[in-house]
Amino acid sequence: MECATFAGKNGGQFGNLHAKPTAIMFRIICLWLCAISAIWAATPAEIEKTIDGLLARMTLQEKLGQMSQNAMTGLSSELKEEIRRGRWGSLFNGGTLAEKAEAQQLARSGKPGIPLIFGQDVIHGYKIIVPIPLGQAASWNPELIRQAARMAAREAAADGIHWTFAPMMDIARDPRWGRIAESLGEDPYLAGELAMAMVRGFQGESLSAPDSIAACAKHYVGYGAAEAGRDYNSTWIPETVLRNIYLEPFRMARESGVATFMSAFNSLNGIPASGNEFTLREVLRREWGFDGFVVSDYTSIPEMIQHGFAANPKDAARKGIESGVDMEMVSTSYYDSGPALVASKQLDPKLIDQSVRNILRVKLRLGLFEDRPVPPPPPDAEARSVAQRLAAESLVLLKNEGNILPLTAKSGRVAVIGPMADSPDNQVGTWAMNAAGNVVTPLAALRERLGADRVVWIPGLRDTRDRTRSGFETALQAARSADVSLLFLGEDASLSGEAASRAYLDLPGAQEDLVDEVAKAGTPMVVVFLAGRPLTFHSVSEKARAVLWAWHPGTMGGAAIADALLGTISPSGKLPVSFPRTLGQVPIYYNHLNTGRPPGDDKYTSKYLDVPVTPEYPFGYGLSYTKFTYANPKLSAAQVKLGGSFTFSAEVSNTGGRDADEIAQLYVRDLVASEARPVRELKGFRRLHLKAGETQTVEFTVKTGELAFYKGARRVTEPGTFQAWIGPDSTAGVQVQFEIVP
C-alpha cells in the first residue's frame, strides 16, 4: 500500500516530528486513511490467520514478553535494548510523544517486530478534567458522559496513547472505600448504562480510528465490596449477589464491545481475583464469549503470595496464566518463571499461546501493526465546553430552604469562605495527573460574574485537613460584612481514590468548627461541598439554608458551580449513591431486601434505636430551582405474557416558575419470587427538559426479560406480581401493579 510505504519511510507510527507543517498535515491525512482502510479490510478470519503466523515465528521468551507490561519513566538505553528484543508488550503512564515514537520504532524494527501498546490512566479526562466518575454518574446522562470520554480519548490519542484503564464499574455500597470516587455508584443498572457510554466514547466507532483508544473494564470483580471499606481487602459475595449486582455492569460493558478487562486486587470468596478461574474463564470467556485480553492490576500476580494463595512467584505465575490473566502489570513473574514452568510441564504452553493471541488480537484491532497516525487534539474550547456541561449536570442540590438559591442582584455582597473555594489541584480530584492547568475555581468564576467588589474571600483554613483556628476571626468578620455566606468545604483530592479509605465520614480538619463560627454572624449560609465520596454532615446542613453537592468537578467545575449559584442553570443532578446519616448505617443502599421484619413502629423490627433506618439523602435524590410533580400513571396492560413487554407512563409537570431538567426514574419490585428480591430496582431513567408550567408524558417500555434475575448461573424470568414506580428518586413516585403470566 503506497501510503503505508510513505509512512514507513518517515518514522513509522509517529512520522517525522521535524518535517514542515504542510508535509506533516499531508502525512497525517495519508496515515489516517491508510490505518483505517487497512484494518477495516481485515476480517476476523484474516486477523486470526495473521496471529497464527506471528505465533509460529515467536520464541517462548518473546511470547512472555508480550504478556508483560511495565511503567515507562523514560527511554533509557537499557529499556531500548529490551524493546528491541521484545521484552515488553506494553508500556504505560509515561514517556513523551517523541519517546513513544522511538520506542515504537524500536519494537517494530526489532525481533519479533510486534508493536507496543501504550496505556495510560485516563480516568476522567486527560488534559481537560471532567468530574470524577461518581460525579459524572450524578448527571444520569449517558450521552454527555460518552462525549466526555470521546474528548478524553482524542486528547490521549494525540499524546500517542492507545489504551486507558477505564471505566471502573465496581459497585460501591460503602463510602469509606476511597475508590468509590472512581465508581459509578451503587446501582448495577445505572453503572452499566454509564460504563457502556464510556466504552463507546473511548473506543469510538472503530478501535482502528487514530483518535480511538481501547477501554478497560475494571476491577474484575467485586472490588467495591472490600471488607470494612479498606482498599485491597477481602470480599465475600454469594454467587446470587455476585451475578445480580457486581457482575452485571461488567456484562453490560462486555456487550458494548469493551476491548480489555483488568483483574482486581481483592480476593473473592477466598480466591484472589487475579487467580480466579471461575470469574476469568468460566464467566468472562465461556459464558460471555470475551475475546480481548485481561491485564492484572499493578503487581496483583505476585500479591497472590501475600494472599496465601500462591507459594512463590513461580506458583503465582502459573496460577495467573491458568486462571486467564493474559498480561502482567509491572511485576515480572510471567517472564521470569514461564520458561521453567513450561520446561517442567507445570504449565501448558498452549495457555501462553492463547494469552498472546488475545493480546495480538487487540493490537491488530487497534491498527498498531499499520502506521497508525497520531491525531490532532480536540480544540481546547470544545473540551472545556463538554467539561463545563458535565460538571453542571453533575451538581446535586440537597437543600434549598426558603429558595435562597439562586442568588440574585438583590443578594448583595457575598462572603466566599472555606478551603475548597480556590484550590485547583483539589478541585480536579483523584487521578488527574495529566491536567493541563487553567482550572476555573468557584472563587474566580464568582469574581468574574459578580465583580470583585461584591466578593470578599477568606479561606478560614489552609486546607480541608487543617485543625488550626487562626483564620476563624477574619472569616466571621467577612460573614458579618456580607449579605450571604458561601462556604466551600469538603475533602482534598488525596482523601479519596486509591489507598484513601477513611474510618470516619465526617468533614476532616476543623471545617465543622469553621461552620459554627461563621454561623455566629447570623448571615444566611449556603454550603457547597467538593468531595470524592458521600460524607456525614447533618449538623452542617442544619445550619445552612442551602446545600449543593459538587463532587470533585474538574477543570471547569468552578464555572458550573457559579452558574448554578447565580441561577444561569438549575441544578439537575441526582445522587448515584445513598448518603448515610451516620457511619453506623454503612453499608447502606436502596436496593436491599425487605427482611421478615421490615422497619416499622413495632419494637422488634429491623431498625436502629438511635437514628432512623433511612439514609440522609436517598439514591436518585436531587432538588431543582423549580418543582416537579408526577401524576396519572398508566400501564399498557395489567397482565403481560412471558417474553412480552409492557409500557408504563406518567405525566411529569413543572409546576414552578423556571425552565429546568428533571430525571424521571423507573423502579420495579418483584413481590413474590423463588428467591427474595430487592424492595426496588432501577430499570430505566429519562432526562426531561420542561418549561415552566409544562407537562410531559414520560414512557418506559420494558421487556419481561429485563426483569430476570440470576439463580446461581441461571438467569430466569418468573411469572408473578410486580409493582412499578415512576418518580424523582428511589423513595417516591406514582405506582402501578401488573402481572407476568406464563
The amino acid present at 73, given as its one-letter code, is T
Is beta strand 660-670 parallel, antiparallel or unpaired with respect to 720-727? antiparallel
Reported as a single tens digit per residue, the pLDDT across 346-370 is 999 999 999 999 999 999 999 999 9
Confirm if 121 and 133 have CB atoms less than 8 A apart: no
What is the band of 533 on the pLDDT scale with cuts at 50, 70, 90? Answer: very high
Calculate mean pLDDT across residues 689-703. 98
What is the band of 38 on the pLDDT scale with cuts at 50, 70, 90? Answer: very low
Percentage of the chain beyond pLDDT 70 is 94
Calculate mean pLDDT across residues 22-49. 56
What domains can be seen in the chain, in order of their start residue? 393-585 (3.40.50.1700), 628-741 (2.60.40.10)
Reported as a single tens digit per residue, the pLDDT across 409-422 is 888 999 999 999 99
Q: What is the pLDDT of residue 13?
A: 41
Q: What is the pLDDT of residue 51?
A: 97
- Residue 573: which of 694, 660, 486 has the closest Cα? 660
**Location of C-alpha cell 446542613:** 541
Tell me: pLDDT of 121 over 50. yes
End-to-end Cα spacing for the chain:
59
Confirm if 161 and 468 have CB atoms less than 8 A apart: no
Cα(12)–Cα(31) distance, rounded to whole angstroms?
10
Q: What is the pLDDT of residue 33?
A: 38
Q: What is the pLDDT of residue 409?
A: 81
Reported as a single tens digit per residue, the pLDDT across 210-258 is 999 999 999 999 999 999 999 999 999 999 999 999 999 999 999 999 9
Is beta strand 645-654 parallel, antiparallel or unpaired with respect to 660-670? unpaired
> What is the helix (H) or strand (E) element at residue 48, kind and residue range?
helix 44-57
Calculate mean pLDDT across residues 378-393. 98
Helices (H) and strands (E) in the chain, counts: 23, 26
Segment among 36-45, 71-80, 284-293, 564-573 with least mean pLDDT? 36-45
Q: What is the pLDDT of residue 42?
A: 77
What is the band of 639 on the pLDDT scale with cuts at 50, 70, 90? Answer: very high
What is the band of 624 on the pLDDT scale with cuts at 50, 70, 90? Answer: very high
Give the number of C-alpha atoms closer than 13 A to the C-alpha of residue 595, restricted to the C-beta side.
Answer: 9
The amino acid present at 518, given as its one-letter code, is V
Q: Which cell numbers hold the place of 714?
A: 441461571
Q: What is the pLDDT of residue 620?
A: 99
Q: At what angle do helices 380-394 and 142-157 cross, to 10 degrees?
A: 150
Q: Which cell numbers hold the place of 657?
A: 416558575
Tell me: pLDDT of 122 over 50. yes
Judging by beta carbons within 10 Å of its beta carbon (0-12, 13-18, 19+), is residue 601 exposed, middle or buried? exposed
Active-site residue list: 297
Of 19 and 286, the structure prediction assigns the larger pLDDT to 286
Cα(462)–Cα(511) distance, rounded to whole angstroms?
11
Q: What is the pLDDT of residue 665?
A: 99
Q: What is the pLDDT of residue 674?
A: 97
Sorted by sequence, the CB contacts under 8 Å of residue 601 that are 6+ apart come out as none
- Residue 115: which of 460, 456, 364 has the closest Cα? 364
What is the band of 11 on the pLDDT scale with cuts at 50, 70, 90? Answer: very low
Cα(397)–Cα(544) distance, rounded to whole angstroms?
13
Cα(245)–Cα(693) distance, rounded to whole angstroms?
39
Give the number of C-alpha atoms closer than 13 A to the C-alpha of residue 98, restricted to the C-beta side.
Answer: 3
Reported as a single tens digit per residue, the pLDDT across 400-455 is 999 999 999 888 999 999 999 999 999 999 999 999 989 999 999 999 999 999 99
Cα(479)–Cα(155) distance, rounded to whole angstroms?
42
Q: What is the pLDDT of residue 410?
A: 82
SS3 at position 65: helix
What is the band of 27 on the pLDDT scale with cuts at 50, 70, 90? Answer: very low
Q: What is the pLDDT of residue 17?
A: 37
Instruction: Tell me the whole-structure pTM to 2 decimals.
Output: 0.94
Calculate mean pLDDT across residues 279-296. 98
C-alpha separations of 381 from 142, 375, 556, 561 in Å: 22, 17, 11, 18
The amino acid present at 476, given as its one-letter code, is L
Reported as a single tens digit per residue, the pLDDT across 160-199 is 999 999 999 999 999 999 999 999 999 999 999 999 999 9
What is the band of 35 on the pLDDT scale with cuts at 50, 70, 90? Answer: very low
Cα(652)–Cα(671) distance, rounded to whole angstroms?
26
Can you point out the beta strands (E) in 478-597? 484-490, 525-530, 546-549
Judging by beta carbons within 10 Å of its beta carbon (0-12, 13-18, 19+), is residue 663 exposed, middle or buried? buried
Q: What is the DSSP string of 470-538?
A: TTHHHHHHHHHTSSEEEEEEE--GGGSSTT---S--SPPTTHHHHHHHHHTT---EEEEEE-SS----H
Tell me: pLDDT of 480 over 80. yes
What is the band of 24 on the pLDDT scale with cuts at 50, 70, 90? Answer: very low
Sorted by sequence, the CB contacts under 8 Å of residue 589 that are 6+ apart come out as 173, 186, 577, 578, 619
Calculate mean pLDDT across residues 561-581. 98
